[in-house]
Structure 1
Amino acid sequence: MKILISADIEGVAGVYHHEQVRPGNPEYERARRLMAAEASAAVAGAFDGGATEVYVNDSHGGFRNMPPDLLDERAQVIQGKPRYLGMVAGVELGIDGVCLLGYHSRAQGRGILAHTINSFAFARVCVNGQELGEAGLYGALAGAYDAPVIMGSGDDVFIDENRSLFPHAVFVQTKRATGQLSGISLSPTRSCAAIRDGVQQAVKAQAGTMAGSRPTPLRLDAPMRITVQTQTPAQADLFCQWPTLTRTDGDALAFDAADIETAIRMLNSLSAMSSMLR
Protein backbone atom coordinates (compact mmCIF):
# COMPACT_ATOMS: atom_id res chain seq x y z
CA MET A 1 0.00 0.00 0.00
CA LYS A 2 1.35 3.41 -1.03
CA ILE A 3 0.62 6.46 1.14
CA LEU A 4 1.25 10.11 0.31
CA ILE A 5 1.69 12.61 3.16
CA SER A 6 1.17 16.20 2.02
CA ALA A 7 2.81 18.30 4.74
CA ASP A 8 2.02 21.97 5.27
CA ILE A 9 3.20 24.06 8.22
CA GLU A 10 0.39 26.39 9.40
CA GLY A 11 -1.52 23.57 11.10
CA VAL A 12 1.49 22.23 13.00
CA ALA A 13 1.30 22.34 16.80
CA GLY A 14 2.97 25.44 18.20
CA VAL A 15 2.81 27.46 14.96
CA TYR A 16 0.84 30.74 15.15
CA HIS A 17 2.65 33.60 13.44
CA HIS A 18 3.84 34.62 9.96
CA GLU A 19 7.44 34.76 11.17
CA GLN A 20 7.24 31.04 11.88
CA VAL A 21 6.27 30.15 8.31
CA ARG A 22 8.57 32.44 6.30
CA PRO A 23 12.24 31.62 5.68
CA GLY A 24 14.74 34.14 6.99
CA ASN A 25 13.29 34.28 10.49
CA PRO A 26 14.78 32.48 13.51
CA GLU A 27 11.26 31.34 14.41
CA TYR A 28 10.98 29.63 11.01
CA GLU A 29 14.05 27.52 11.72
CA ARG A 30 12.31 26.11 14.79
CA ALA A 31 8.94 25.70 13.06
CA ARG A 32 10.37 23.76 10.13
CA ARG A 33 11.73 21.24 12.61
CA LEU A 34 8.34 20.93 14.29
CA MET A 35 6.91 20.32 10.80
CA ALA A 36 9.49 17.61 10.12
CA ALA A 37 8.75 15.94 13.47
CA GLU A 38 5.03 15.74 12.68
CA ALA A 39 5.79 14.42 9.19
CA SER A 40 8.05 11.74 10.67
CA ALA A 41 5.32 10.76 13.11
CA ALA A 42 2.93 10.42 10.18
CA VAL A 43 5.42 8.25 8.29
CA ALA A 44 5.81 5.99 11.31
CA GLY A 45 2.03 5.75 11.66
CA ALA A 46 1.65 4.82 8.01
CA PHE A 47 4.13 1.97 8.32
CA ASP A 48 2.53 0.91 11.61
CA GLY A 49 -0.75 0.66 9.69
CA GLY A 50 0.65 -1.55 6.96
CA ALA A 51 1.98 0.85 4.31
CA THR A 52 4.71 -0.54 2.08
CA GLU A 53 5.78 2.79 0.56
CA VAL A 54 5.38 6.28 2.02
CA TYR A 55 6.00 9.54 0.19
CA VAL A 56 6.25 12.88 1.97
CA ASN A 57 5.37 15.93 -0.13
CA ASP A 58 6.85 19.16 1.29
CA SER A 59 3.85 21.37 0.58
CA HIS A 60 4.58 24.77 2.12
CA GLY A 61 5.85 27.89 0.36
CA GLY A 62 8.91 27.06 -1.72
CA PHE A 63 8.34 23.32 -1.07
CA ARG A 64 11.75 22.85 0.58
CA ASN A 65 11.17 23.39 4.27
CA MET A 66 11.86 20.14 6.08
CA PRO A 67 15.50 19.13 6.51
CA PRO A 68 15.54 15.66 4.92
CA ASP A 69 17.90 14.31 7.57
CA LEU A 70 15.24 14.94 10.21
CA LEU A 71 12.62 12.81 8.44
CA ASP A 72 11.99 9.12 9.05
CA GLU A 73 14.56 7.40 6.84
CA ARG A 74 11.92 5.09 5.36
CA ALA A 75 10.14 7.99 3.66
CA GLN A 76 10.70 9.11 0.07
CA VAL A 77 10.67 12.91 0.06
CA ILE A 78 9.22 15.17 -2.66
CA GLN A 79 10.64 18.70 -2.52
CA GLY A 80 11.19 21.71 -4.79
CA LYS A 81 9.08 23.68 -7.26
CA PRO A 82 7.52 24.33 -9.68
CA ARG A 83 5.64 21.07 -10.09
CA TYR A 84 2.35 20.55 -11.89
CA LEU A 85 0.55 18.71 -9.07
CA GLY A 86 1.75 21.05 -6.36
CA MET A 87 0.78 19.97 -2.87
CA VAL A 88 -0.16 16.44 -3.96
CA ALA A 89 2.71 15.78 -6.35
CA GLY A 90 3.38 12.06 -6.07
CA VAL A 91 -0.30 11.16 -6.30
CA GLU A 92 0.35 10.07 -9.89
CA LEU A 93 2.46 7.16 -8.56
CA GLY A 94 -0.54 4.98 -7.74
CA ILE A 95 -1.25 6.24 -4.23
CA ASP A 96 -3.82 4.40 -2.10
CA GLY A 97 -4.42 7.16 0.44
CA VAL A 98 -3.46 10.79 1.10
CA CYS A 99 -2.82 12.41 4.49
CA LEU A 100 -3.18 16.20 4.72
CA LEU A 101 -0.75 17.06 7.51
CA GLY A 102 -0.45 20.47 9.16
CA TYR A 103 -3.18 22.01 6.99
CA HIS A 104 -5.15 25.19 7.74
CA SER A 105 -8.53 26.76 7.05
CA ARG A 106 -9.37 28.65 3.88
CA ALA A 107 -8.93 32.35 3.17
CA GLN A 108 -11.23 34.57 5.25
CA GLY A 109 -11.69 31.69 7.65
CA ARG A 110 -11.26 32.05 11.41
CA GLY A 111 -8.45 29.55 11.71
CA ILE A 112 -4.80 30.16 12.54
CA LEU A 113 -2.90 31.62 9.55
CA ALA A 114 -5.93 30.98 7.31
CA HIS A 115 -5.39 31.47 3.57
CA THR A 116 -5.88 29.76 0.22
CA ILE A 117 -2.74 29.08 -1.85
CA ASN A 118 -1.41 32.64 -1.58
CA SER A 119 -2.44 35.00 1.21
CA PHE A 120 -1.23 38.02 -0.78
CA ALA A 121 -3.26 37.17 -3.89
CA PHE A 122 -6.50 35.34 -3.10
CA ALA A 123 -9.34 36.23 -0.73
CA ARG A 124 -11.73 33.54 -1.94
CA VAL A 125 -11.70 30.63 -4.43
CA CYS A 126 -14.88 28.85 -5.53
CA VAL A 127 -15.34 25.84 -7.78
CA ASN A 128 -18.80 25.63 -9.34
CA GLY A 129 -20.02 27.98 -6.62
CA GLN A 130 -18.51 25.98 -3.74
CA GLU A 131 -15.88 27.82 -1.71
CA LEU A 132 -12.81 25.68 -1.12
CA GLY A 133 -9.48 25.98 0.62
CA GLU A 134 -6.29 24.13 -0.10
CA ALA A 135 -7.60 20.92 1.46
CA GLY A 136 -10.67 20.86 -0.80
CA LEU A 137 -8.80 21.85 -3.94
CA TYR A 138 -5.96 19.40 -3.51
CA GLY A 139 -8.19 16.70 -2.06
CA ALA A 140 -10.19 16.90 -5.30
CA LEU A 141 -6.97 16.78 -7.34
CA ALA A 142 -5.96 13.63 -5.47
CA GLY A 143 -9.45 12.28 -6.16
CA ALA A 144 -8.93 12.83 -9.87
CA TYR A 145 -6.08 10.32 -9.54
CA ASP A 146 -8.38 7.95 -7.61
CA ALA A 147 -6.64 8.62 -4.29
CA PRO A 148 -8.86 9.40 -1.27
CA VAL A 149 -7.97 11.69 1.60
CA ILE A 150 -7.81 9.35 4.58
CA MET A 151 -6.45 11.66 7.27
CA GLY A 152 -6.01 15.35 8.08
CA SER A 153 -4.43 17.33 10.89
CA GLY A 154 -4.58 20.99 11.89
CA ASP A 155 -6.64 23.33 14.02
CA ASP A 156 -10.32 22.96 14.87
CA VAL A 157 -11.46 25.41 12.17
CA PHE A 158 -9.66 23.43 9.46
CA ILE A 159 -11.34 20.27 10.68
CA ASP A 160 -14.81 21.83 10.85
CA GLU A 161 -14.47 23.23 7.32
CA ASN A 162 -13.39 19.95 5.74
CA ARG A 163 -15.13 17.16 7.62
CA SER A 164 -18.06 17.18 5.18
CA LEU A 165 -15.69 16.90 2.20
CA PHE A 166 -13.89 13.91 3.72
CA PRO A 167 -16.50 12.32 5.99
CA HIS A 168 -14.67 9.04 6.48
CA ALA A 169 -11.21 10.51 7.08
CA VAL A 170 -9.50 10.48 10.46
CA PHE A 171 -8.90 14.02 11.75
CA VAL A 172 -6.35 14.97 14.40
CA GLN A 173 -6.73 18.35 16.10
CA THR A 174 -3.30 19.78 16.91
CA LYS A 175 -4.56 23.09 18.31
CA ARG A 176 -7.62 25.29 18.82
CA ALA A 177 -7.81 28.66 17.09
CA THR A 178 -8.63 31.70 19.20
CA GLY A 179 -7.74 34.13 16.42
CA GLN A 180 -5.79 34.28 13.17
CA LEU A 181 -2.51 34.58 15.07
CA SER A 182 -3.40 32.89 18.36
CA GLY A 183 -4.54 29.56 19.70
CA ILE A 184 -4.22 26.79 22.26
CA SER A 185 -1.89 24.00 21.15
CA LEU A 186 -0.94 20.50 22.10
CA SER A 187 2.72 20.10 22.96
CA PRO A 188 4.83 18.90 20.01
CA THR A 189 5.29 15.52 21.72
CA ARG A 190 1.56 14.99 22.23
CA SER A 191 0.76 16.22 18.74
CA CYS A 192 3.23 13.80 17.16
CA ALA A 193 1.81 10.91 19.19
CA ALA A 194 -1.76 11.77 18.14
CA ILE A 195 -0.73 12.08 14.49
CA ARG A 196 1.06 8.73 14.53
CA ASP A 197 -2.01 7.06 16.02
CA GLY A 198 -4.37 8.82 13.60
CA VAL A 199 -2.40 7.89 10.51
CA GLN A 200 -2.07 4.30 11.68
CA GLN A 201 -5.83 4.11 12.16
CA ALA A 202 -6.52 5.68 8.77
CA VAL A 203 -4.13 3.40 6.87
CA LYS A 204 -5.50 0.30 8.55
CA ALA A 205 -9.05 1.34 7.68
CA GLN A 206 -8.10 1.98 4.07
CA ALA A 207 -6.44 -1.40 3.89
CA GLY A 208 -9.69 -2.97 5.06
CA THR A 209 -8.21 -4.44 8.21
CA MET A 210 -10.43 -2.44 10.55
CA ALA A 211 -14.19 -2.17 10.76
CA GLY A 212 -15.88 0.91 9.33
CA SER A 213 -16.37 2.69 6.04
CA ARG A 214 -13.34 3.19 3.82
CA PRO A 215 -12.80 6.73 2.48
CA THR A 216 -13.66 7.31 -1.15
CA PRO A 217 -11.99 9.88 -3.44
CA LEU A 218 -13.41 13.39 -3.59
CA ARG A 219 -14.54 14.21 -7.11
CA LEU A 220 -15.96 17.50 -8.39
CA ASP A 221 -18.14 17.89 -11.47
CA ALA A 222 -16.31 18.91 -14.64
CA PRO A 223 -16.04 21.05 -16.64
CA MET A 224 -16.00 23.68 -13.93
CA ARG A 225 -16.35 27.39 -13.40
CA ILE A 226 -13.72 28.92 -11.13
CA THR A 227 -14.42 32.25 -9.46
CA VAL A 228 -11.74 34.15 -7.58
CA GLN A 229 -11.93 37.15 -5.30
CA THR A 230 -8.54 38.83 -5.15
CA GLN A 231 -7.10 40.67 -2.20
CA THR A 232 -7.04 43.98 -4.13
CA PRO A 233 -8.27 45.31 -7.49
CA ALA A 234 -4.62 45.65 -8.56
CA GLN A 235 -4.30 41.88 -8.52
CA ALA A 236 -7.44 41.49 -10.61
CA ASP A 237 -5.95 44.07 -13.04
CA LEU A 238 -2.84 41.91 -13.33
CA PHE A 239 -4.50 38.51 -13.55
CA CYS A 240 -6.95 39.61 -16.24
CA GLN A 241 -4.06 40.28 -18.57
CA TRP A 242 -4.52 36.55 -19.17
CA PRO A 243 -6.93 36.51 -22.15
CA THR A 244 -9.11 33.62 -20.97
CA LEU A 245 -9.95 35.28 -17.63
CA THR A 246 -13.10 37.38 -17.28
CA ARG A 247 -13.29 40.36 -14.91
CA THR A 248 -16.53 40.12 -12.95
CA ASP A 249 -15.97 42.90 -10.40
CA GLY A 250 -13.31 45.28 -9.16
CA ASP A 251 -11.66 42.53 -7.15
CA ALA A 252 -13.12 39.44 -8.84
CA LEU A 253 -12.60 37.28 -11.91
CA ALA A 254 -13.69 33.96 -13.36
CA PHE A 255 -12.46 31.31 -15.75
CA ASP A 256 -13.54 27.93 -17.04
CA ALA A 257 -11.49 24.78 -16.55
CA ALA A 258 -11.83 21.35 -18.12
CA ASP A 259 -10.94 19.65 -14.82
CA ILE A 260 -9.55 20.30 -11.36
CA GLU A 261 -5.95 19.81 -12.44
CA THR A 262 -6.33 22.55 -15.05
CA ALA A 263 -7.96 24.80 -12.47
CA ILE A 264 -5.19 24.36 -9.91
CA ARG A 265 -2.46 24.87 -12.47
CA MET A 266 -4.11 28.15 -13.46
CA LEU A 267 -4.45 29.26 -9.82
CA ASN A 268 -0.80 28.47 -9.17
CA SER A 269 0.20 30.42 -12.28
CA LEU A 270 -1.78 33.44 -11.02
CA SER A 271 -0.15 33.05 -7.62
CA ALA A 272 3.28 33.22 -9.26
CA MET A 273 2.21 36.27 -11.29
CA SER A 274 1.20 38.12 -8.14
CA SER A 275 4.81 38.41 -7.01
CA MET A 276 5.37 41.33 -9.39
CA LEU A 277 3.03 43.46 -7.23
CA ARG A 278 4.88 42.87 -3.97
Structure 2
Amino acid sequence: MKILISADMEGATGVTWPADVLPGTPQWERCRAMFTSDVNAAVLGFLDGGADEVVVNEAHWTMRNLLLEQLDERVQMLTGRHKSLSMVEGVQHGDVDGIAFVGYHAGAGMEGVLAHTYLANSLTGVWLNGVRASEGLLNAHVVAEYGVPVVLVTGDDFACEDALGYAPSALKVAVKDHVSRYAAVCRTPGRTAADIRAAAAEAAKLAVRHEPVQGGPFTVEMEFDAEHLSMAATVVPGVTRTGERRAAYTSDTMYEGIRTFKAVTTVVSNAMEEQYG
Protein backbone atom coordinates (compact mmCIF):
# COMPACT_ATOMS: atom_id res chain seq x y z
CA MET A 1 0.00 0.00 0.00
CA LYS A 2 1.36 3.40 -0.99
CA ILE A 3 0.10 6.61 0.60
CA LEU A 4 0.69 10.12 -0.69
CA ILE A 5 0.46 13.01 1.80
CA SER A 6 -0.22 16.47 0.40
CA ALA A 7 1.04 18.76 3.16
CA ASP A 8 -0.10 22.37 3.44
CA MET A 9 0.71 24.66 6.35
CA GLU A 10 -2.20 27.01 7.08
CA GLY A 11 -4.16 24.15 8.62
CA ALA A 12 -1.28 22.95 10.81
CA THR A 13 -1.29 22.84 14.60
CA GLY A 14 -0.79 26.28 16.19
CA VAL A 15 -0.93 28.27 12.96
CA THR A 16 -3.26 31.28 13.00
CA TRP A 17 -1.33 34.29 11.66
CA PRO A 18 0.24 35.24 8.31
CA ALA A 19 3.74 35.36 9.82
CA ASP A 20 3.26 31.76 10.97
CA VAL A 21 3.38 30.59 7.35
CA LEU A 22 5.53 33.19 5.59
CA PRO A 23 8.98 31.70 4.89
CA GLY A 24 11.81 33.52 6.61
CA THR A 25 9.93 34.97 9.58
CA PRO A 26 10.75 33.94 13.15
CA GLN A 27 7.18 32.68 13.61
CA TRP A 28 7.47 30.51 10.47
CA GLU A 29 10.62 28.93 11.90
CA ARG A 30 8.72 28.14 15.09
CA CYS A 31 5.65 26.79 13.31
CA ARG A 32 7.67 24.58 10.94
CA ALA A 33 8.24 22.20 13.83
CA MET A 34 4.51 21.91 14.57
CA PHE A 35 3.76 21.48 10.87
CA THR A 36 6.36 18.71 10.70
CA SER A 37 4.85 17.11 13.81
CA ASP A 38 1.43 16.91 12.14
CA VAL A 39 2.88 15.36 9.00
CA ASN A 40 5.05 12.91 10.90
CA ALA A 41 2.05 11.82 12.95
CA ALA A 42 0.18 11.03 9.72
CA VAL A 43 3.20 9.13 8.41
CA LEU A 44 3.43 7.04 11.58
CA GLY A 45 -0.29 6.38 11.58
CA PHE A 46 -0.32 5.14 8.00
CA LEU A 47 2.65 2.89 8.72
CA ASP A 48 0.81 1.62 11.82
CA GLY A 49 -2.15 0.89 9.55
CA GLY A 50 -0.15 -1.26 7.15
CA ALA A 51 1.23 1.14 4.54
CA ASP A 52 4.36 -0.13 2.81
CA GLU A 53 5.36 3.27 1.47
CA VAL A 54 4.55 6.85 2.39
CA VAL A 55 5.56 9.84 0.27
CA VAL A 56 5.07 13.42 1.43
CA ASN A 57 4.54 16.13 -1.18
CA GLU A 58 5.26 19.59 0.22
CA ALA A 59 2.39 21.84 -0.85
CA HIS A 60 2.86 25.16 0.94
CA TRP A 61 4.22 28.37 -0.62
CA THR A 62 7.85 27.66 -1.61
CA MET A 63 7.21 23.98 -0.89
CA ARG A 64 10.35 23.96 1.26
CA ASN A 65 8.98 24.18 4.80
CA LEU A 66 8.98 20.74 6.41
CA LEU A 67 11.95 19.61 8.49
CA LEU A 68 13.06 16.45 6.72
CA GLU A 69 15.41 15.52 9.56
CA GLN A 70 12.45 15.26 11.96
CA LEU A 71 10.43 12.85 9.82
CA ASP A 72 10.39 9.09 10.30
CA GLU A 73 13.27 7.51 8.41
CA ARG A 74 10.91 5.31 6.38
CA VAL A 75 9.26 8.24 4.58
CA GLN A 76 10.32 10.00 1.39
CA MET A 77 9.62 13.68 0.78
CA LEU A 78 9.10 15.57 -2.46
CA THR A 79 10.11 19.17 -1.81
CA GLY A 80 10.39 22.24 -4.01
CA ARG A 81 8.25 24.09 -6.55
CA HIS A 82 7.28 23.84 -10.22
CA LYS A 83 5.61 20.44 -10.23
CA SER A 84 3.12 19.36 -12.89
CA LEU A 85 0.29 18.74 -10.43
CA SER A 86 1.49 21.12 -7.74
CA MET A 87 -0.16 20.14 -4.43
CA VAL A 88 -0.95 16.56 -5.51
CA GLU A 89 2.18 15.85 -7.52
CA GLY A 90 2.92 12.12 -7.56
CA VAL A 91 -0.66 10.92 -7.81
CA GLN A 92 -0.38 10.57 -11.61
CA HIS A 93 2.05 7.63 -11.60
CA GLY A 94 -0.57 4.95 -11.03
CA ASP A 95 0.88 3.46 -7.84
CA VAL A 96 -0.82 5.55 -5.11
CA ASP A 97 -3.61 3.82 -3.16
CA GLY A 98 -4.77 6.74 -1.04
CA ILE A 99 -4.01 10.40 -0.39
CA ALA A 100 -4.11 12.50 2.77
CA PHE A 101 -4.63 16.26 2.86
CA VAL A 102 -2.69 17.37 5.95
CA GLY A 103 -2.75 20.99 7.11
CA TYR A 104 -5.53 21.99 4.72
CA HIS A 105 -7.83 25.00 5.11
CA ALA A 106 -11.10 26.49 3.86
CA GLY A 107 -11.25 28.29 0.52
CA ALA A 108 -11.27 31.93 -0.56
CA GLY A 109 -14.34 33.76 0.70
CA MET A 110 -15.15 31.05 3.26
CA GLU A 111 -14.94 31.17 7.03
CA GLY A 112 -11.77 29.58 8.29
CA VAL A 113 -8.32 30.24 9.69
CA LEU A 114 -6.19 31.82 6.92
CA ALA A 115 -8.83 30.73 4.39
CA HIS A 116 -7.74 31.22 0.77
CA THR A 117 -7.40 29.38 -2.53
CA TYR A 118 -3.83 29.34 -3.87
CA LEU A 119 -3.33 33.12 -3.50
CA ALA A 120 -3.15 34.45 0.07
CA ASN A 121 -5.57 37.23 -0.93
CA SER A 122 -6.63 38.83 -4.26
CA LEU A 123 -8.87 35.83 -5.03
CA THR A 124 -12.10 36.45 -3.16
CA GLY A 125 -13.86 33.37 -4.47
CA VAL A 126 -13.42 30.32 -6.70
CA TRP A 127 -16.27 28.18 -8.01
CA LEU A 128 -16.07 24.75 -9.65
CA ASN A 129 -19.17 24.02 -11.73
CA GLY A 130 -21.02 26.55 -9.59
CA VAL A 131 -19.85 25.21 -6.21
CA ARG A 132 -17.56 27.39 -4.09
CA ALA A 133 -14.21 25.66 -4.16
CA SER A 134 -11.35 25.18 -1.74
CA GLU A 135 -7.98 23.72 -2.62
CA GLY A 136 -9.26 20.48 -1.11
CA LEU A 137 -12.21 20.34 -3.50
CA LEU A 138 -10.08 21.14 -6.54
CA ASN A 139 -7.42 18.60 -5.59
CA ALA A 140 -10.01 15.93 -4.78
CA HIS A 141 -11.32 16.13 -8.35
CA VAL A 142 -7.77 15.83 -9.68
CA VAL A 143 -6.93 12.70 -7.70
CA ALA A 144 -10.30 11.12 -8.55
CA GLU A 145 -9.22 11.08 -12.21
CA TYR A 146 -6.41 8.74 -11.15
CA GLY A 147 -8.65 6.49 -9.06
CA VAL A 148 -7.16 7.64 -5.76
CA PRO A 149 -9.43 8.25 -2.75
CA VAL A 150 -8.91 11.03 -0.19
CA VAL A 151 -8.67 9.09 3.08
CA LEU A 152 -7.64 11.71 5.67
CA VAL A 153 -8.04 15.49 6.06
CA THR A 154 -6.56 17.59 8.86
CA GLY A 155 -6.91 21.31 9.50
CA ASP A 156 -9.20 23.62 11.44
CA ASP A 157 -12.82 22.72 12.10
CA PHE A 158 -13.99 24.57 8.97
CA ALA A 159 -11.50 22.68 6.80
CA CYS A 160 -12.94 19.44 8.17
CA GLU A 161 -16.47 20.65 7.49
CA ASP A 162 -15.47 21.60 3.94
CA ALA A 163 -14.05 18.10 3.43
CA LEU A 164 -17.47 16.57 4.13
CA GLY A 165 -18.45 17.86 0.69
CA TYR A 166 -15.57 16.40 -1.32
CA ALA A 167 -14.42 13.42 0.79
CA PRO A 168 -17.32 12.36 3.02
CA SER A 169 -15.77 8.99 3.90
CA ALA A 170 -12.35 10.36 4.81
CA LEU A 171 -11.23 10.58 8.43
CA LYS A 172 -11.09 14.19 9.66
CA VAL A 173 -8.97 15.66 12.44
CA ALA A 174 -9.51 19.24 13.62
CA VAL A 175 -6.30 20.54 15.19
CA LYS A 176 -7.88 23.92 16.08
CA ASP A 177 -11.27 25.62 16.15
CA HIS A 178 -11.85 28.77 14.10
CA VAL A 179 -12.50 32.01 15.97
CA SER A 180 -11.67 34.40 13.14
CA ARG A 181 -9.49 34.48 10.03
CA TYR A 182 -6.50 35.12 12.30
CA ALA A 183 -7.49 33.42 15.56
CA ALA A 184 -8.27 29.91 16.73
CA VAL A 185 -8.54 27.77 19.83
CA CYS A 186 -5.54 25.46 19.32
CA ARG A 187 -4.81 22.01 20.69
CA THR A 188 -1.24 21.26 21.76
CA PRO A 189 1.16 19.45 19.39
CA GLY A 190 1.23 16.40 21.65
CA ARG A 191 -2.53 16.05 21.50
CA THR A 192 -2.87 16.70 17.78
CA ALA A 193 -0.05 14.29 16.96
CA ALA A 194 -1.85 11.53 18.86
CA ASP A 195 -5.17 12.34 17.19
CA ILE A 196 -3.68 12.46 13.69
CA ARG A 197 -1.72 9.24 14.16
CA ALA A 198 -4.81 7.36 15.35
CA ALA A 199 -6.93 8.70 12.49
CA ALA A 200 -4.28 7.87 9.87
CA ALA A 201 -4.04 4.29 11.10
CA GLU A 202 -7.79 3.96 10.65
CA ALA A 203 -7.74 5.84 7.33
CA ALA A 204 -5.30 3.30 5.88
CA LYS A 205 -8.24 0.90 5.63
CA LEU A 206 -9.84 3.28 3.11
CA ALA A 207 -6.80 3.32 0.81
CA VAL A 208 -8.27 1.26 -1.99
CA ARG A 209 -7.93 2.44 -5.56
CA HIS A 210 -11.13 2.83 -7.58
CA GLU A 211 -11.94 3.28 -11.23
CA PRO A 212 -10.83 6.70 -12.52
CA VAL A 213 -13.64 9.25 -12.38
CA GLN A 214 -14.08 11.35 -15.49
CA GLY A 215 -16.44 14.04 -14.25
CA GLY A 216 -15.77 16.78 -16.78
CA PRO A 217 -16.21 19.21 -18.27
CA PHE A 218 -15.16 21.50 -15.43
CA THR A 219 -15.85 25.22 -15.39
CA VAL A 220 -13.76 27.23 -12.96
CA GLU A 221 -14.85 30.79 -12.24
CA MET A 222 -12.69 33.17 -10.21
CA GLU A 223 -13.49 36.46 -8.51
CA PHE A 224 -10.67 38.90 -7.75
CA ASP A 225 -10.46 41.92 -5.47
CA ALA A 226 -9.52 44.28 -8.33
CA GLU A 227 -10.74 44.53 -11.91
CA HIS A 228 -7.28 44.59 -13.50
CA LEU A 229 -6.62 41.09 -12.16
CA SER A 230 -9.51 39.59 -14.10
CA MET A 231 -8.07 41.21 -17.21
CA ALA A 232 -4.60 39.87 -16.39
CA ALA A 233 -6.04 36.35 -16.08
CA THR A 234 -7.13 36.42 -19.73
CA VAL A 235 -3.48 36.23 -20.77
CA VAL A 236 -3.87 32.49 -20.18
CA PRO A 237 -5.40 30.84 -23.28
CA GLY A 238 -9.04 29.85 -22.79
CA VAL A 239 -9.68 32.25 -19.91
CA THR A 240 -12.32 34.93 -20.52
CA ARG A 241 -13.78 37.71 -18.42
CA THR A 242 -17.25 37.03 -17.05
CA GLY A 243 -17.60 40.25 -15.07
CA GLU A 244 -15.70 43.31 -13.93
CA ARG A 245 -13.73 41.29 -11.37
CA ARG A 246 -14.43 37.78 -12.65
CA ALA A 247 -12.90 35.38 -15.15
CA ALA A 248 -13.59 31.77 -16.07
CA TYR A 249 -12.48 28.84 -18.20
CA THR A 250 -13.68 25.33 -18.98
CA SER A 251 -11.54 22.19 -19.16
CA ASP A 252 -12.43 18.66 -20.19
CA THR A 253 -10.44 17.20 -17.28
CA MET A 254 -9.30 18.41 -13.87
CA TYR A 255 -5.74 17.57 -14.89
CA GLU A 256 -6.07 20.38 -17.42
CA GLY A 257 -8.20 22.41 -15.04
CA ILE A 258 -5.71 22.51 -12.18
CA ARG A 259 -2.82 23.32 -14.51
CA THR A 260 -4.77 26.21 -15.99
CA PHE A 261 -5.66 27.41 -12.50
CA LYS A 262 -1.98 27.31 -11.54
CA ALA A 263 -1.13 29.36 -14.65
CA VAL A 264 -3.83 31.93 -13.86
CA THR A 265 -2.70 32.39 -10.26
CA THR A 266 0.92 32.74 -11.39
CA VAL A 267 0.00 35.44 -13.90
CA VAL A 268 -2.29 37.24 -11.46
CA SER A 269 0.26 37.22 -8.64
CA ASN A 270 2.67 39.00 -10.96
CA ALA A 271 0.05 41.59 -11.91
CA MET A 272 -0.22 42.94 -8.35
CA GLU A 273 1.66 46.09 -7.38
CA GLU A 274 2.69 46.28 -3.73
CA GLN A 275 0.01 47.55 -1.32
CA TYR A 276 -2.44 48.39 -4.10
CA GLY A 277 -2.74 44.76 -5.21
Both structures adopt the same fold (TM-score exceeding 0.5): yes
Q: Secondary structure at the match of 2:267?
A: helix
Whether the 8 Å contact between 1:88 and 1:138 is mirrored in structure 2 is yes
Partner of 1:231: 225
Partner of 1:63: 63
Runs (5+) with no aligned partner, structure 2: none
What letter corresponds to residue 129 of structure 2 in structure 1?
N
Offset of residue 265 of structure 1: 0.6
Partner of 2:132: 131
Q: TM-score, normalised by structure 1?
A: 0.93
Partner of 2:141: 140
Partner of 1:260: 254
Distance 2:236 2:224 in 1: 15
**1:16 to 1:216, Cα distance in 2 relative to 1, 3 A:** farther
Partner of 1:39: 39
Deviation per residue, 1:87-116 (Å, 9 max, x gap): 111112311010110100011111100001
Distance 1:158 1:149 in 2: 14
Runs (5+) with no aligned partner, structure 1: 208-214
Q: Secondary structure at the match of 1:242?
A: coil
Q: Secondary structure at the match of 2:165?
A: coil
**1:129 to 1:115, Cα distance in 2 relative to 1, 3 A:** same
Query: Is 1:3 matched up with 2:14?
Result: no
Distance 2:206 2:128 in 1: 30
Distance 2:214 2:87 in 1: 18
What letter corresponds to residue 236 of structure 1 in structure 2?
S
Partner of 1:177: 178
Distance 1:217 1:116 in 2: 28
Offset of residue 119 of structure 1: 2.3
What letter corresponds to residue 171 of structure 2 in structure 1?
V
Offset of residue 216 of structure 1: 6.1
Partner of 2:72: 72
Distance 2:140 2:125 in 1: 17
Distance 2:57 2:36 in 1: 11
What letter corresponds to residue 92 of structure 1 in structure 2?
Q
Distance 1:122 1:271 in 2: 9
Whether the 8 Å contact between 1:121 and 1:271 is mirrored in structure 2 is no
**1:26 to 1:182, Cα distance in 2 relative to 1, 3 A:** same
**RMSD of Structure 2 on Structure 1 (CA):** 1.6
Partner of 2:24: 24
Number of matched residues?
Answer: 271
Distance 1:243 1:171 in 2: 37
Partner of 1:86: 86
Q: Secondary structure at the match of 1:203?
A: helix
Offset of residue 225 of structure 1: 1.6
Residues 142-157 of structure 1 aligned to structure 2 (within 5 Å): 142-157=143-158
Distance 2:246 2:120 in 1: 15
What letter corresponds to residue 263 of structure 2 in structure 1?
S
Whether the 8 Å contact between 1:140 and 1:217 is mirrored in structure 2 is no
Offset of residue 164 of structure 1: 2.6
Partner of 2:96: 95
Query: Is 1:270 matched up with 2:264?
Result: yes
What letter corresponds to residue 110 of structure 2 in structure 1?
G
